[in-house]
């Protein structure tokens, strides 16, 4: 509960002391939402003045006090239970009793969730921007390596030849979906709960749409109880970020393996050496990025566990829901940028890749397909080539021997041996796979063009969202100045 007394404490004396005060305090974590809280305070005061709920002179004094508090910074706040109370106390210290009018027609319940949404949407936009950068790097790499043959793997075993372009484009598609999930989460985050008060609204004639617009929200969470208590937007955001972190983890893992195999050489800026073994070049940045999936998954799991079974409306459990979330989004965004930089500056070893693409009988499927295309049932063709591969190196001769054993007729009765030799060549094998989504350059090239079009649209969407928030911030500053 609050009152309008000036001084360094606005809590009732009955609750002002005791051993639990530090346990209740969230001041250490609330720096994340300091700027957001000041914006919420300003928008709320502007609306209160416009609605004749607070006299203009008092509104002006409060806004001046908020400017001074902003200039003093977070470290200049008085001790308090949370940042909201600290700012209100600081306002009352500067303005006197009239400063207590700032909290008219609101509760810390709607205030804090509004602040979280403001801070989170900024982090989500930063994470989205990081995915756009990574997608650009992946598409550029794919463009440069349309014909660079490489081994493809399943179960980490040589499977079929592919190209670096096809491989990189596969990750671009995955990151594009991560971008879409972040956009979707942003839509739900960017709705204003301000004006819900504790959970039952307020008798004052407030204008919730006005504060929503001043703070750059695209809409409102209309039901006051839902607005004050729900944190499902955190779950959705955490899920989107965990999905991105999982994509990044897989990409980083591949980079680590490829560096180990000599397929990829990382730039020194994205590697480190051993403190004792001077010959080492360790892919540390990729390893840290790979591990970020654990952090993101932990945050999502923690949120789900914290929020499970909470009764309506507000519960103090919610106090711990947002700090880890904001830090995790920022950390995953940084990992995304780091992986993008590592790939952009890395060098692919075309010779090592081509050599590896021919290892382990990786073209076997292509030969089986060739037999199937010439009348041999695919399952039978599969058995022929499996038998040939089991004998050692997959060659035209070993395939001919296996064909005679399994088919009862010479290989030449089914297919020309020159065609078999061509099918065994990794480059020819890749070129033959020109169906939609395949690795052949003729299939990858139009896919890259389409991906670029989607990326351009997503980039414009991202810029539009940033512009809307910037315009709202300018409008709020102009209204604050007008009152002042």
Q: What is the pLDDT along the chain (484 residues), one digit of tens a residue?
A: 344 433 444 554 555 565 556 666 666 768 889 999 999 999 999 999 999 999 999 999 999 999 999 999 989 888 877 888 889 999 999 999 999 999 999 998 999 999 999 999 999 999 999 999 999 999 999 999 999 999 999 898 888 999 999 999 999 999 999 999 999 999 999 999 999 999 999 999 999 999 999 999 999 999 999 999 999 999 999 999 999 999 999 999 999 999 999 999 999 999 888 778 877 788 999 999 999 999 999 999 999 999 998 898 888 788 788 888 999 999 999 999 999 999 999 999 999 999 999 888 888 888 889 899 999 999 998 998 888 888 778 888 888 888 888 888 888 888 889 988 898 999 999 999 999 999 999 999 999 999 999 999 999 999 999 999 999 999 999 999 999 7
Helix, strand, or coil (residue 255): helix
Q: In this structure, are strands 347-348 and 264-265 parallel, antiparallel, or unpaired?
A: antiparallel
47 to each of 53, 64, 194, 260, how far by Cα in Å? 8, 16, 11, 61
Q: What gap in Å lies between CA 229 and CA 132, rounded to an integer? A: 33
Residues in the chain: 484
Sequence ranges of the chain with CATH classification 1.20.200.10: 110-144+151-349+451-473
Task: Report pLDDT for 24.
Answer: 63
Task: Report pLDDT for 407.
Answer: 85
Report field, pTM of the whole predicted structure over 0.85 = yes
Q: Which two tokens stand for residue 325?
A: 């979330």
Task: Report pLDDT for 320.
Answer: 80
Q: Write down the architecture of domain 110-144+151-349+451-473 according to CATH.
A: Up-down Bundle (1.20)
Q: Which two tokens stand for residue 347?
A: 């060098």
Q: What gap in Å lies between CA 239 and CA 251, rounded to an integer? A: 19
Q: What gap in Å lies between CA 183 and CA 358, rounded to an integer? A: 42
Helix, strand, or coil (residue 47): helix
Q: What gap in Å lies between CA 264 and CA 351, rounded to an integer? A: 11
Residues paired with 163 in a beta bridge = 149
Q: What gap in Å lies between CA 218 and CA 197, rounded to an integer? A: 20
Burial of 52 (0-12, 13-18, 19+ CB in 10 A): exposed
Q: Own/partner pairs for 104-108, CB < 8 Å, 24+ apart?
A: 104/48, 104/53, 104/54, 104/204, 105/44, 105/48, 105/53, 105/195, 105/197, 105/202, 105/204, 105/206, 106/44, 106/194, 106/195, 106/197, 106/202, 107/196, 107/197, 107/198, 107/199, 107/228, 108/82, 108/84
User: Which residues are part of the catalytic machinery?
Assistant: 155, 274
Sequence ranges of the chain with CATH classification 1.10.275.10: 13-104
Give CATH for domain 13-104: 1.10.275.10
Q: Which two tokens stand for residue 253?
A: 């893992």
Q: Which residues contact 322 (CB under 8 A, 6 or more apart)?
A: 29, 32, 33, 116, 119, 120, 234
């Amino acid at each position: 509960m609050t009152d309008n007394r000036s001084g360094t404490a606005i809590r009732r004396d009955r609750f002002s002391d005791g051993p639990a005060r530090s346990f209740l305090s969230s001041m250490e974590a609330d720096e994340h939402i300091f700027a957001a809280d000041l914006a919420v305070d300003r928008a709320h005061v502007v609306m209160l003045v416009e609605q004749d709920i607070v006299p203009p002179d008092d509104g002006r004094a409060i806004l001046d006090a908020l400017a001074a508090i902003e200039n003093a910074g977070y470290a200049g706040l008085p001790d308090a239970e949370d940042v909201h109370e600290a700012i209100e106390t600081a306002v009352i210290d500067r303005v006197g009793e009239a400063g207590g009018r700032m909290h008219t027609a609101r509760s810390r319940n709607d205030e804090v969730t509004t602040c979280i949404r403001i801070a989170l949407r900024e982090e989500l936009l930063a994470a989205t921007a990081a995915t756009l950068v990574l997608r650009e790097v992946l598409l550029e790499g794919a463009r440069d390596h349309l014909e660079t043959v490489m081994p493809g793997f399943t179960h980490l075993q040589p499977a079929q030849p592919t190209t670096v372009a096809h491989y990189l484009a596969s990750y671009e598609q995955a990151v594009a979906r991560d971008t879409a999930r972040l956009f979707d989460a942003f839509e739900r985050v960017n709705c204003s709960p301000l004006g819900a008060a504790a959970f039952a609204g307020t008798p004052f004639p407030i204008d919730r749409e006005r504060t929503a617009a001043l703070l750059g929200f695209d809409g409102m969470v209309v039901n006051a109880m839902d607005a004050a208590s729900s944190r499902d937007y955190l779950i959705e955001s955490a899920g989107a970020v965990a999905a991105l972190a999982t994509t990044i983890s897989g990409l980083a893992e591949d980079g680590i393996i490829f560096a180990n195999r000599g397929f990829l050489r990382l730039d020194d800026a994205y590697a480190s050496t051993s403190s004792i073994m001077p010959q080492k070049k360790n892919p540390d940045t990729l390893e840290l990025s790979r591990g970020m999936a654990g952090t993101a998954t932990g945050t999502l799991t923690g949120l789900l566990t914290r929020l499970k079974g909470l009764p309506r409306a507000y519960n103090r459990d919610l106090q711990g829901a947002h700090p880890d979330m904001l830090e995790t989004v920022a950390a995953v965004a940084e990992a995304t940028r780091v992986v993008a930089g590592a790939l952009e500056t890395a060098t692919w070893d075309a010779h090592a890749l081509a050599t590896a693409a021919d290892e382990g009988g990786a073209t076997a499927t292509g030969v089986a397909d060739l037999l199937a295309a010439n009348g041999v049932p695919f399952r039978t063709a599969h058995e022929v080539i499996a038998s040939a591969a089991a004998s050692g190196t997959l060659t035209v001769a070993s395939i001919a021997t296996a064909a005679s054993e399994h088919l009862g007729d010479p290989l030449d009765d089914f297919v020309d041996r020159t065609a078999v030799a061509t099918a065994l060549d990794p480059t020819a094998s890749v070129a033959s796979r020109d169906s939609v989504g395949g690795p052949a350059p003729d299939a990858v090239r139009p896919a890259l063009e389409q991906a670029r079009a989607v990326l351009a649209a997503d980039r414009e969407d991202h810029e539009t969202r940033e512009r809307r928030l910037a315009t709202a911030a300018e409008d709020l500053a102009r209204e604050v100045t007008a009152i002042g």
